[in-house]
Structure 1
Amino acid sequence: MNPRERVRDTKTEIHRAAVELFSSQGYDKTSLREIAERVGITKASLYYHYSSKQDLLRAIVGTFLDDIFEVLARSDELPWSPEAERELLGAYVDVVIQHRSTGPALLRDIAAVLAAFGDDLDALIAQSRRFQLWLAGPNPTPADRLRAAAAVETVGAAMSTELDLGVTDAEIRAVLLDAATAILSRRGTPVSLPGDR
């Protein structure tokens, strides 16, 4: 085979086309025929890879959920320390960046994702709460727990933006990690309410 010939990775092309269409017009309004046409294959060929649109959604989103769950679960075994916090937060940022193209599809059609994953999402939510509690540090105050949740949501902002920022993944990682650790660095700081003197 000529080394210049490109070996077609049909599954990757199907995933890319599906994410683009799900993000732009929604899961419900996207047909398998449209995805097949975008890839340049027949609908029958698409069925060879995925038995249904929900099966395709599970394949796309499932990889992200598996990767994020694996990172979150590490907090169950790893004692908290500033170094461990930065390491695990960095791993979380890496997964979010790696899967950020999936974000708009996830957010736009959360009902479809819930229907496709059900109990798996319940387990992920429970694990995410344990991760946030771990990020809050030893003996956290309610404000520290809220800060930990805010740090995680800050990283999640990369999943919700469709902007072409014109920056590298390394730059995105640095900004998100900096923003999340800035929030966590306020741990233990008393909260001042308006009107306090």
Structure 2
Amino acid sequence: MAKSDTKQRILRTARELFATKGVQQTSLQEIADRLGITKPALYYHFSSREDLIRSIVTPLLDDGEQFIARMEARADVPPLELIEGFFDFHHRHRTDMLMLLTELTTLAELGLIDVVLTWRARLTRLVFGSEPTLEQQARAVLAFGGMQDCTMQFPDAPVDELRTATVTAACAALGLSVGPRT
């Protein structure tokens, strides 16, 4: 089996165990046992638990950073496009987001809470300008945090319906008089 195949199997198994048992309650030995490999073989691919968690989270962080940077690079982003794109990002990564949110200690240890808060501040400035009021900042926290929550709260909802409902609610929270495109 190729090195990358084993690494992907480890990531898949770690996600499953982290989601069911929690990150802190899942040992690397347990992951190795589930895969039928030795713990040293697991360490060949990931030097530590933190390295394994970072490998799961990095694609999510990279995707989020790329999305926000693309929006910031444009002169005039329509708020609806920004909101729909942010929903799509969260929907794509909802499984890993849910796993991470159940482990706030792990999030804090990896510095991910600061990343998410920085993203929200950047999105707020994209919608409201460089110096949003406290009310605008509060609206943005409700809208962007709520969008994230909706992708996890309603995992069985048809994605098109969930997208429409979530984007409409986010627009309302932001005080925007735009609705989702049909």
TMscore range, shorter length: 0.7 to 0.9
How many pairs were matched up?
174
**Contact conserved, 1:96 with 1:158, CA < 8 A, in 2?**
no
Instruction: Please point out which of 101, 105, 108 is paired with 1:111.
Output: 105
Instruction: Please point out which of 85, 88, 92 is paired with 1:91.
Output: 85
Judging changes above 3 Å, is the alpha-carbon distance between structure 1 residues 99 and 140 closer, same or farther for their aligned structure 2 residues?
A: same
**Contact conserved, 2:32 with 2:42, CA < 8 A, in 1?**
yes
Q: Secondary structure at the match of 2:75?
A: coil
Note the 1:32-71 alignment, pairs <5 A. 32-71=28-67
Aligned-residue Cα RMSD (Å) equals 2.8
- Structure 1 counterpart of 2:125: 133
Question: Which runs of no fewer than 5 residues in structure 2 stay unpaired?
Answer: 178-182
**How far, CA to CA, are the matches of 1:140 and 1:35 in structure 2?**
46
**How far, CA to CA, are the matches of 1:31 and 1:13 in structure 2?**
16
Deviations 1:148-195 (A, max 9, x none): 22110111104543x642x343443333223222323x249xxxxxxx
- Structure 1 counterpart of 2:137: 145
> Following superposition, which runs of at least 4 residues in structure 1 exceed 6 angstroms of deviation?
none
**Contact conserved, 1:96 with 1:156, CA < 8 A, in 2?**
yes
Judging changes above 3 Å, is the alpha-carbon distance between structure 1 residues 164 and 134 closer, same or farther for their aligned structure 2 residues?
A: closer
Judging changes above 3 Å, is the alpha-carbon distance between structure 1 residues 77 and 10 closer, same or farther for their aligned structure 2 residues?
A: same
Question: Which runs of no fewer than 5 residues in structure 1 stay unpaired?
Answer: 1-7, 189-197
Judging changes above 3 Å, is the alpha-carbon distance between structure 1 residues 158 and 11 closer, same or farther for their aligned structure 2 residues?
A: farther
Q: Secondary structure at the match of 2:24?
A: coil
Alignment pair present for 1:74 and 2:70: yes
User: Greater helix percent: which structure?
Assistant: 2
TM-score using structure 2 length: 0.77
- Structure 2 counterpart of 1:30: 26
From the CA coordinates, give the structure whose radius of gyration is larger. 1
How high is the sequence identity, in percent, across the aligned residues?
34
Alignment pair present for 1:169 and 2:163: no
TM-score using structure 1 length: 0.72
